[in-house]
Structure 1
Amino acid sequence: MSSEPSRATVAPAQHWRSYGPLDLHPILLHAMEAFNEHGYHGTSVRDIATRVGVTVPALYYHYENKQALLTTLLETSMKDVLDRCRAAAAEAGDDPLSRFRGMVESIVLYMANRKGMAFLDTEIRSLEPENRARYVALRDYLQHMLLDTVRAGIREGAFTTPIPADAVRAILIMCQGVANWYRADGPLTAEEVAERHVLLSLGTVGYAGPRAED
């Protein structure tokens, strides 16, 4: 299992279900918007500087290059997900079923409420090898957290999937997809989307216990 990542660059969430305005340096905020609109390779440092209203040298004073902007955004995003997922698991206690529900809910709520940050995961291909390895380690840690919980649920008879690692990968892909399609002005709230994904995820791990009626 991966060693626990550092959380030094991310302020802990007051509560894992709570979301206020996105608190980013203006350069990072405009870089995020530009990357989402035009892609990493379709965005220049000058484009970002123009959005922020600063000169290119002023931008370089804060961030070494465009790669540093993308790396900072991706790592900040993943560390926030991890913080919230850990908080949800801690709140749930030792019961694997409760922990699983809370962890999946926390991930989906993040994807819906921070979709601009979460959508940047598609730019992992643009990371340089060292930065990519560091980011993948964070993603792997999240996967191991969820997998450990599913395996604990299997041992206690709550889950029946014979392929827990595959189930967890499928769940995380499904949850990540929320950032691609969710709209705040759509027919479902973030909480409703999270509730539905918890039910879908329970089916994926073979939970056969009582559920809320449709």
Structure 2
Amino acid sequence: MARQTSRKQPTRVRGEESGTGLGFEPDPGADWRRFEELQLSPYLEAALEEFGAHGYHGGSVRAIANRVGVTLPTLYYHHGSKQDLLVTLLMGSMHDILVRCRHALAEAGDRPEDQVAHIVECFTLYMTHRRRLAFLDGEVRNLEPDNRERYIAQRNELTVMLRGVVEDGIADGVFHTPHSAEAVRAVVSMCQAVAVWYRSDGPLSEAEVAQRYVALALDILVFRRGGR
């Protein structure tokens, strides 16, 4: 008789995939460049503040409950564990990035350089406007294995989206990088790093950073069309 083994199921929180009822943004549609102030639920806002101040391991559920002004049982009723809070924040943020980038790509038209420009602009704008959430990507190492697998699968969608556009551009003769896979990884990593250093009171606006990163991305891909 075969031995039965139990496999721990990934943490799932009500509404985590779409952010419904948790304060994540609604689908922006064609207005993907516009960012309203995000109104996370009190529990998620407190967790975001706690993780931002002390990291995932340094933050405590009791401190999060104190920030909200509720008892531990009340917090656990809404989010079953500290892991639940981290998963919900990461998955909600990644969902919002992907929704915006899909709209940006759909609006770009047929030219690969415009498609790359829209994806990079959208991604970079998210890193600046939602940097507190985007900064949490560094806590992926603290996700439990099944949760990490789900999150990374979603995060990889963005890389796949950009890689497809770059391959089309190489086939069309507008991108000339001999190292397409490495170039795509470089662009994605470059944009992700914006969340680490960007400050809204710095010398560049969100839009200015995004435009500079579009130019850098096209340089990495060795973009040339019509003598440019």
Give CA deviations for 1:28-58 in whole Å, capped at 9, x if unaligned.
0110111011000001100100001111110
Residue in 2 that maps onto 1:100: 116
Structure-1 separation of matches of 2:73 and 2:227? 57
Structure-2 separation of matches of 1:151 and 1:21? 36
Residue in 2 that maps onto 1:206: 222
Task: State the 1:96 CA deviation.
Answer: 1.2
- Normalised to the residue count of structure 2, the TM-score between the two structures is 0.87
Unaligned stretches of 5+ residues in structure 2: 1-15, 21-25
Q: Out of 128, 131, 137, which is 1:121 matched to?
A: 137
Q: Out of 150, 170, 176, which is 2:192 matched to?
A: 176
Give CA deviations for 1:47-100 in whole Å, capped at 9, x if unaligned.
100001111110011011000000010011111110111010001122211111
Structure (1 or 2) with the larger CA radius of gyration: 2
- Normalised to the residue count of structure 1, the TM-score between the two structures is 0.93
Pick which of 157-166 and 38-47 moved more.
Answer: 157-166
Residue in 2 that maps onto 1:51: 67
**Change in CA separation of 1:43 and 1:162 when aligned onto 2, cut-off 3 Å:** same
Identity of aligned residues (%): 51
Task: State the 1:8 CA deviation.
Answer: 3.7
Structure-2 separation of matches of 1:45 and 1:204? 43
* Matched ranges for 1:1-80 at <5 A: 8-9=18-19, 11-14=26-29, 15-80=31-96
Q: Out of 160, 164, 177, which is 1:148 matched to?
A: 164
Q: Out of 84, 97, 107, which is 1:91 matched to?
A: 107
2:60 alignment partner AA: S
Task: State the 1:210 CA deviation.
Answer: 7.1
**Change in CA separation of 1:211 and 1:159 when aligned onto 2, cut-off 3 Å:** same
The yes-or-no answer on 1:109 pairing with 2:117 is no
Local SS of the residue matching 2:152: helix
Residue in 1 that maps onto 2:3: none
Task: State the 1:9 CA deviation.
Answer: 3.5
Structure-2 separation of matches of 1:111 and 1:127? 21
**Change in CA separation of 1:168 and 1:58 when aligned onto 2, cut-off 3 Å:** same
Task: State the 1:211 CA deviation.
Answer: 10
Structure-1 separation of matches of 2:224 and 2:216? 12
Task: State the 1:163 CA deviation.
Answer: 1.3
Unaligned stretches of 5+ residues in structure 1: 1-5
1:101 alignment partner AA: A
Task: State the 1:209 CA deviation.
Answer: 3.8
Local SS of the residue matching 1:143: helix
The yes-or-no answer on 1:165 pairing with 2:165 is no
2:46 alignment partner AA: H
- The number of residue pairs the alignment matches comes to 207
Structure-2 separation of matches of 1:105 and 1:36? 25
Local SS of the residue matching 2:114: helix
